Amino acid sequence: MPYSENNVPIIDDIIDEIKDKSSNGEYIYRGESKRHSKISSTLYREYINISEHITHDLNIFDLRILQKHMLKVVKKHIGEPPQDIYLGTHWFIHHSGLNPDLTLTTEEIELLTQLQHFGGDTNLIDFTTDFLIAVFFACSDLCSLGEDGRVIVLEKTDKIKKMMIPPQNPQHRVIAQKSVFLHPPNGFIDVSDYKEVCIPSVRKLELLKDLRRYHDISAETIYNDIHGFIRHRNIQMNAYVQFELGLTCQYRAYQAEPNTGELADFLLAIEHYKQAIALDPEFGVAYGNLAECYLHIERWDDARKNFKTAKNMKIDIISSFYTEYKNVAEFEEKTGLNMPPDIGEMLGNL
């Protein structure tokens, strides 16, 4: 269940809750960055999104037929064009007379797992045997950082085991993610007795940092192939863009005359630095610059916390601060603010 604003659990409590819910029996786990109405495949959710535009009776639709057609198209793209690849405009309607064999071949299962591996929409649902990896997936979608996620704890009952498909030819990423695929015929798991643990949005970045620091679970280790590298590089580039935007606002604030808009520029810089950190939690310099901006708006606790984080990441916060000020006294003289003594000590005011 979602937590109230005044009752957000600490990281250890979240992990303990997952352990408690999977202590008796054999379980697999799934991390979702936001709570979907069903435990469903991407193909099912894509179909539901467009189903309002379909006029025929949805009760006669079988998602497996769509999957079969998709696999035929995939075979054409990889150089194995099948005969009769297109089955007509209304190929998916049962009353068209189409009665395909819906059983998946070994080759088709391999194609599905490859599509899933590369982020395609399939009727497979990703699970993992490692709950920490599920926590990573519940936190790692940058577009959903503001929403609560969840970890699904699913017991491997006989019904679930019948849906399980082991990877046919595991790739690096599949091995790293300890993947298990479920293949429900109708696109979602029709069970009511699964357990779930809420991952509060305010804990996502903290959990990502802990997973990296203590368990070696990060984007680099989870997406440990060339496609993961491309994904991570794109994230890093976006983080650098946000950092540079923050730097621009910060220096504009330094150059402004007192009481002529420098506060607004510091606030803008803060938002850009926060976005950079959300994209790349290991962006140490961004923490230091964020802390410097917090100094100027007297958010001392936030400044203190981010200076500590930057320092723990081996960032020279003293040299960075002295780029703009000779010492703490000059900062206080120029800004008219009284810096807390402990922060002054962190910045070399001994």
For residue 317, the one-letter residue type is I
DSSP element (H, E) containing 65: helix 63-77
Contact in structure between 173 and 49 (CB atoms under 8 Å): no
Helix, strand, or coil (residue 22): coil
For residue 46, the one-letter residue type is E
Q: Which CATH class is domain 230-346?
A: mainly alpha
pLDDT score for 82 = 45
d(CA 111, CA 91): 21
pLDDT score for 94 = 38
Mean pLDDT by 10 residues, the chain (350 residues): 58 93 93 87 76 52 70 70 39 40 69 71 88 92 82 92 74 74 82 86 85 84 69 74 94 83 91 86 91 95 94 91 90 92 87
Contact in structure between 138 and 150 (CB atoms under 8 Å): yes
DSSP element (H, E) containing 195: strand 195-199
pLDDT score for 173 = 64
Domain boundaries, the chain: 11-222, 230-346
pLDDT score for 115 = 73
pLDDT score for 236 = 75
Q: Treating both helix axes as pointing N-terminal to C-terminal, what angle do 63-77 and 106-117 enclose, rounded to 10 degrees?
A: 80
pLDDT score for 258 = 72
Contact in structure between 174 and 110 (CB atoms under 8 Å): no
State pTM to two decimals. Answer: 0.65
- Residues in CB range of 212: below 8 A, 6 or more apart: 218, 281, 282
